[in-house]
Chain A
Amino acid sequence: MKPPNAKMQVSAVRSGTVIDHLGPRTAFKALKILGIAADATVLIGVNLDSSKLGKKDILKIEGRELTEAEMNKVALLSPQATFSVIRDFKVVKKFSPTLPDTVEGLIRCVNPACITQDPRVTGRFLVAAKKPLKLRCYFCERSMRENEIEFL
């Protein structure tokens, strides 16, 4: 039986980025979006209890400080995610991402008849609404809801 107040113990990050409040089961997608290399040191927490979200994922990425642009990319996947940049075990910056106005590449258009299905064409999406998230393909004009977004 699990004792009350038990917490999963995970190591602290020396220097790098902690991403908290990722939606449940989005941590691996976030790694993919961020292009975190397979040999990077990363702690991944999946389906952890969260008072705010019910369930959440966490990523602790050692040795890499994400840029604001990178953090904003993650917002497409999980708009409520929060970021802490760590140096020598201390939080030096906290960041709540904002969705960019346009997104280049990164996502596959949901429309199978879209010109961007040609691998020679890079997709571009306009953020039509932020909450709930709605993207519109710049080329074929098809709208996509959060649950339809497929990352490349």
Chain B
Amino acid sequence: MKKNPLLGRDVISMRDFGPAEIRAILDRCRGFENNRKPLLQGKVLANLFFEPSTRTRLSFDSAMKRLGGATIGFSDSISTSISKGESLWDTIRVAEGYCDVMVIRHPAEGSARLAAEATRLPVINGGDGSNQHPTQTLLDLYTLKQRTGRIEGLKVAFVGDLKYGRTVHSLIRSLSHFDARLWLVSPTSLCLPEDFLEDLRDSGTEHHIVDELAAVPDDVDVLYLTRIQKERFVDAIEYERVRNAYQVNPENVARFGAKLTLMHPLPRLNEVHAALDQHPGAAWFDQAHNGVIVRQALLALCLGAA
């Protein structure tokens, strides 16, 4: 049996996983595509969601139940002791007695790492502010592999808000392990933070900073689209201009051909034209559905059941 890459580990940040480990995790995910084995019967997952989430919470819930386990948890901090001033550390120490594994989503960056320090149980980061969302990155990589047959040597254009999107940040960092060539398409005000650019330079990853989709070459393999959020703009007119300028529609993706894979972490606003749901490369619902497969794998691996 292959070595379990997550035994005794937490899933906090993609920084913690090298290319071999990422490959090993993705390989193990495949076994969960049609899994109905109750591998986690008798186990309890605590979904500790200190801020709202739809897909991440529901898919962890679904993943645990498909593995025969049970879930407990909360979906905002208002109804918990946090609103009474309890520290995150104490909340985690208390929850430790109620479950076998925890998923935490919290608005403070670094909260998942702190949670992992507070407990001996495995902790999975379901998103900590704009820092990391490793399970999203893994499901994105899994979808990329499913769609393109590989994760190595891909030409990927990231489009939209590259400044605040944690999804983009961890996926870019992970792709830099796999000889990706990147096009970073955004308005100047939403461009990839310097810290990440520096990492790309350090890792020798080819990347091009451009401000329009027209600058992306025709033979790109993937367009990874992101939501441009209104609250990031002071000026409403500038927001309208930017969101329209970065909308992807059947006309402006036609030149990329039918082999193109189109991804979006969802929820989407108008950055994706509704007609693109019919594009053979549209993968956003696959991403969402793969979330359950990948999260099943992560739960089972973290608990040593796979």
Contact of A113 among B107, B113, B132, B195 (CB under 8 A): B107
Chain A residue nearest to B109 (CB atoms) is A140
B131 on interface, CB distance cutoff 8 Å: yes
Beta-carbon contacts of A113-137 to B below 8 Å, as 1s and 0s? 1111110110000000000000001
Contact of A141 among B89, B107, B131 (CB under 8 A): B131
Interface residues in B97-113 (C-beta closer than 8 Å to A): 106-111, 113
A101 and B109 alpha carbons, distance in the complex (Å): 22
Interface size counted on chain B using CB atoms at 8 A = 20
**Contact A141/B108 with A120-B87, A120-B89 known, Cβ cut-off 8 Å:** no
B68 on interface, CB distance cutoff 8 Å: no
Beta-carbon contacts of A90-116 to B below 8 Å, as 1s and 0s? 000000000000000000010101111
Least Cβ–Cβ distance between A43 and chain B, in angstroms: 40
Least Cβ–Cβ distance between B101 and chain A, in angstroms: 21
A28 on interface, CB distance cutoff 8 Å: no
Least Cβ–Cβ distance between B91 and chain A, in angstroms: 12
Report whether B129 and A142 are in contact in the complex, using a CB–CB cutoff of 8 Å.
Answer: no
Least Cβ–Cβ distance between B165 and chain A, in angstroms: 15
B94 on interface, CB distance cutoff 8 Å: no
- In the complex, what residues of A have CB within 8 A of residue B269's CB? none
Report whether A118 and B108 are in contact in the complex, using a CB–CB cutoff of 8 Å.
Answer: yes
Contact of A115 among B108, B132, B195 (CB under 8 A): B108
- In the complex, what residues of B have CB within 8 A of residue A109's CB? 110
Number of A-B contacts (CB under 8 A): 56
Report whether A139 and B113 are in contact in the complex, using a CB–CB cutoff of 8 Å.
Answer: yes
Report whether A140 and B110 are in contact in the complex, using a CB–CB cutoff of 8 Å.
Answer: yes
Report whether A143 and B109 are in contact in the complex, using a CB–CB cutoff of 8 Å.
Answer: no
B130 on interface, CB distance cutoff 8 Å: yes
Report whether A114 and B108 are in contact in the complex, using a CB–CB cutoff of 8 Å.
Answer: yes
Contact of A118 among B15, B87, B132 (CB under 8 A): B87
A51 and B132 alpha carbons, distance in the complex (Å): 46
Report whether B131 and A140 are in contact in the complex, using a CB–CB cutoff of 8 Å.
Answer: yes
**Contact A138/B113 with A114-B108, A120-B89 known, Cβ cut-off 8 Å:** yes
User: Which chain A residues have a beta carbon within 8 Å of chain B's beta carbons?
Assistant: 109, 111, 113-118, 120-121, 137-143
Nearest 3 A/B pairs, CB to CB: A139-B110, A140-B109, A140-B110
